[in-house]
Amino acid sequence: MSTKQRNAVTISGAMDGRPMLFAHGYGCDQNMWRFVTPAFQDTHRIVLFDHVGNGKSDLSAYRDARHGTLAGYAEDVLEILREHDLRDVIFVGHSVSSMIGVLAANREPDRFGGIVMVGPSPRYIDDQSAGYVGGFERSDIEQMLESLDSNYLGWSSAMAPVIMGNPERPELGEELTNSFCRTDPAIAKKFAKVTFLSDNREDLPKLRVRSLILQCSDDVIAPDVVGEYVHKHTPDSTFTALNATGHCPNLSAPEETVDAIKAWL
């Protein structure tokens, strides 16, 4: 199966420009980048895709053995790059896709020119033995996964607005809720476990391409201390604190997000 079918890959923009590949976060799809990508259309080749189980991806391509870890999703990304012969790629990953990008770049660094991490977290669960703060107790994550497993649509309606933040703009939370609800529930439940139980702290120091970390305030998924940890433990990284709040600045503050990426580029 081609990646165009499996991951609904779309390519646009300047075909002779430097490639930029945008990877969406949990419960989202490539549509979440629609306010960001136009700013790069004239200068870059824009590559968008959906992780298997999301958007217009081919659900039949999901494999427990492959997609039971973030490494499997990273391999999907690498197959997209190989199939379309993309090199010197600027990978822009939101949330969990930040770590997927790190894993992919660590495996084939020659294909990457840089990584932008939007609201990254290498581990969501606190690790008191190592003095690491991820923002959640293990019991919090287990309770969340249990709630998600028993009533995915109810969980989506309750959690999406919290994740989005910006309560004064309820239409943003509604959009994220609708996106969650469009995701295949069976795959979404599995991807949630892969995401929220992941631990990629040891992968950060291995990154050999330069990176930009974009951190929002009042982010319940990836609080400030997490973004600072990523910056501290990632070589050749730049940390930018945005004025944006919540976890999805690609929707809530696209102009600021674009400006930060352009300044880094």
Active site residues per annotation: 95, 219, 247
Among the listed residues 24, 23, 26, the one whose alpha carbon sits nearest the alpha carbon of residue 160: 26
Radius of gyration of the chain (CA): 17
C-beta separation of 228 from 239 below 8 A: yes
Residues 6+ apart with CB under 8 A from 52: 6, 7, 58, 59, 61, 62, 67, 73, 76, 187
How far is residue 111's CA from residue 75's CA, in Å, rounded to a whole number? 13
- With tokens 């080749």, the residue in question is 45
How far is residue 9's CA from residue 3's CA, in Å, rounded to a whole number? 7
Give 84's DSSP letter. Answer: T
